[in-house]
Every structure is written in structure tokens, then in C-alpha cells.
Amino acid sequence: MAHEPSEAVHAVHGTLTALRRWTPARIALGRTGSSLPTQEVLTFSAAHAQARDAVHTALDVDALCQALRRQAWPDVILAHSRARDRHEYLLRPDLGRRLDEASRERLLQSRPQRAVADLVFVIGDGLSALGIQRHAVPLLDAIRAALDPGLALGPVVVARQARVALGDEIGELLGARMVAVLIGERPGLSSPDSVGIYLTMGPRVGCVDAQRNCISNVRPQGQDLPTAARRLAWLVREALRIGKTGVDLKDHSGLPLIGAARSPMALPDADDPAPATPAPPHPAAR
């Protein structure tokens, strides 16, 4: 004979159902017999299709460059990794970490003759061109507003079929002190448009992940753009002060990991240390 669920089971289910207001995670989905409700199955299938689309959709470089110029980012350079197309990019991560010869020549010709840039931005499609298309320009604008006004910025490089380490070669060729790579992260089933920011001091071919700081899950529903921008500005300032990034630079900015407006939980005070960075770079994006 079937037993009615206990009061404890009802209480747990009620708590999980209430938590659904605050997270896109798939909790308290319910069931129909031994399976999920049809609506939840359809929602899961749609999210999976959206994630696959985010991986395979090509970056609209022309639209991105036009948007950058409209926001007064006039010095934009196009680059391409050694991965010839998306198929090769996904099968050969190593090719996404190095520039093709045409891009190397273009960047060498663009290297400043006298002034050294403190920071160069690289916008890479990564594993979610969708995230870059939606968020790269407003994120760059927020970063520019948060950075110290005396910082010398180099050109913005838009790179296709890019992995994180592609920024090392770009920064080296441009002679920059630091490089910040804004790149589409591998999409999850609730986050197809997430962007990661990777900051590296002294970029050069051969840098390892331990030399970078990572700000992950940057999107309006995750770590919102203004917060991520302020966090990067803090890391840039500290990196210039100590001359290092990565494991030698811990994030004590005290900034929240998610936007205060959406979090039902208490956020740390400004004097409380935030979780230390670097966070491990997303393995599929490196």
C-alpha cells in the first residue's frame, strides 16, 4: 500500500519550491509517476539546444566592431587563431591558443613605437559567441568607467576562434604590460551567454593558468557587469602595484560575487575579503 509523504517531506519540498525564485538551478521539479513533468522535460531540451547553439553560433564581428566604434573605441584590430573554422577549433584547443600569421603581422604593425600600454583588451568568441555579442561592449564600457583615468589603454583586439591563452601572444606582440581577455565561457544549461575575464601581467607565449586572475560568470543573471568591472579595476590597480597576477594576487576587493539586487542573502561588507582569486579557468575555454 502506498504511503502518504510525511510532513518532513512536504516541508523540504516547500523549502525547495520557495528557493526556485532565487536560482535557475533545476530543483523541486516535481514528477509524473517515475518521470519528470512534461513541461520540465521540454524546458530542459530547450536549454540544451540553446547551449549547443551558443557553442556553434559564429560571432558577428562587423556588428561588434561597429558597436565598439559607436562607444568611442576607435582603435579596433581583428585577429584570428590558427583554428581555421569552428570544427577545428573544437577538436584542436591548441590551435585556438596561437595566432595565424596574418594576425601576427597585423599586430606587429600596430605595436606602439614609443608609449607602452598598461592594458590591452582582447575580445574572444570562445565557447559562447552569444555571450560576447550581448555583453562585450557594455562590459568594456563599464570597465573603462571603473579603471583609473591615468591608465594607458592599448587597442581593442577582436579575436575569432579564440582560447584564453591567445591573449598572451597578442599582449606580447603589442608590448603591453597586461592583457585582459573577455571571452565567451562554455555554456551551461541555465547560462548560455556567460563571459569570463582573464587578467595576465607580462603576457607572453607560454604563460600558464597560475599566472592569471579569473572573473567568471559575468552576465546580468550572474556576476553583473558593473560589479565585474569594479572587480577587474581593483585587480588591475593591485597588479600594477605588486607587478604580479595569478596566484600571487588575491582578490580582497570585498565586492560581491552576485548582484545585490537579486540576492536574498546578506552580502559581505566592503572590508570583508571576497573569495580569493584566481579561480580555475574554465577548462574548455583555455
Question: Which of 9-23, 42-56, 113-127, 166-180 is predicted least confidently?
Answer: 9-23
Q: What is the pLDDT of residue 285?
A: 52
| Residue 92 grid cell | 584542436
Name the more confident of 113 and 225: 225
The stretch 148-172 carries a mean pLDDT of 96
Inter-residue contact 60 to 133 (CB < 8 Å): yes
Among 255, 192, 248, CA closest to 219: 192
Q: Which of 153-157, 203-207, 231-235, 275-279 has the lowest average pLDDT?
A: 275-279
Mean pLDDT, residues 129-149 taken together: 96
Q: What is the pLDDT of residues 217-273, one digit of tens each?
A: 999 989 999 999 999 999 999 999 999 999 999 999 988 776 654 444 333 333 333
Q: Position of cell 520540465?
A: 40
pLDDT value of residue 9: 61
pLDDT at 280: 46
Query: Using CA of residue 147, residue 150, residue 151, residue 157, what is the dihedral sign?
Result: positive
Cell numbers at residue 98, please? Answer: 596561437
Query: What does each C-alpha distance from 191 to 12, 47, 185, 221, 237 come to in angstroms?
Result: 26, 9, 9, 8, 30
pLDDT above 60 (res 282): no
Q: Of the ranges 3-12, 100-109, 257-266, which is most confident?
A: 100-109
